[in-house]
Amino acid sequence: MAENPGIEQKEWAELNKKWDVLQKSGHTLSVSFQLVTDPNDKKRVMAIEVQQKIDDEWVTQVFQKIAGEAYGILGIQDMSVDGLLRAYNKYAQIEGIPKEGTAVVSMRRINNTTGEVRGYIKSAENSKITSLKRNYQDYYILNAIQEQLGVLTGEVSTGITVMKKRPSGISCHLTYE
């Protein structure tokens, strides 16, 4: 489908297989890539963000070069769970949340350096309204929250879901497969 932007060969093959299956099943698919670089050294690639629009749903997959490497650059290194949630609440300025609605963003960890982020807005009646396009910053902050909660609880989770409700605020919970 596209030229490999620098993703590990095994992971690149898995992505291509997924895309082939989706297309053969009649799904519409568009894919774009962004290199996440160190702002102080643009030649240093820290991660690759893969934006996938499958039918009408956005899926963002992030492939880190070194696990947690961007935490310091994003200003989230050594933050507490409360600090990370405040940072995410400030960062995640999500438009279009209905008066009594909720924005839901989830991150599923695939391995120590890779994860997938999805988001959507739902009304008070819990019906899915629209998919949200998210990015590598969502991934890094949610990954850091998941890691911190894992240290606090001693549990190993496979993901995290954050809900931003109007008018009440933000909450999160770990997910397990």
Can you tell me which residue has the tokens 């890539």?
33
Confidence of residue 38 (pLDDT cuts 50, 70, 90): very high
Computed over every residue of the chain, the mean pLDDT equals 90
What residues contact 145, with CB distance under 8 A and at least 6 apart? 81, 84, 85, 88, 160, 162, 172
pTM exceeding the 0.75 threshold for the entire prediction: yes
Residue 177 has pLDDT above 80, yes or no: no
- Going from N- to C-terminal start, the domains of the chain cover 9-175
Question: What mean pLDDT comes out for the span 145-172?
Answer: 88
Amino acid sitting at position 112: N
What residues contact 153, with CB distance under 8 A and at least 6 apart? 174
Residue 83 three-state SS: helix
pLDDT at residue 1, as a whole number? 57
Contact 48, 34 (CB under 8 A): yes
- Start-to-end CA span in the chain (Å): 30
Residue 126 has pLDDT above 70, yes or no: no
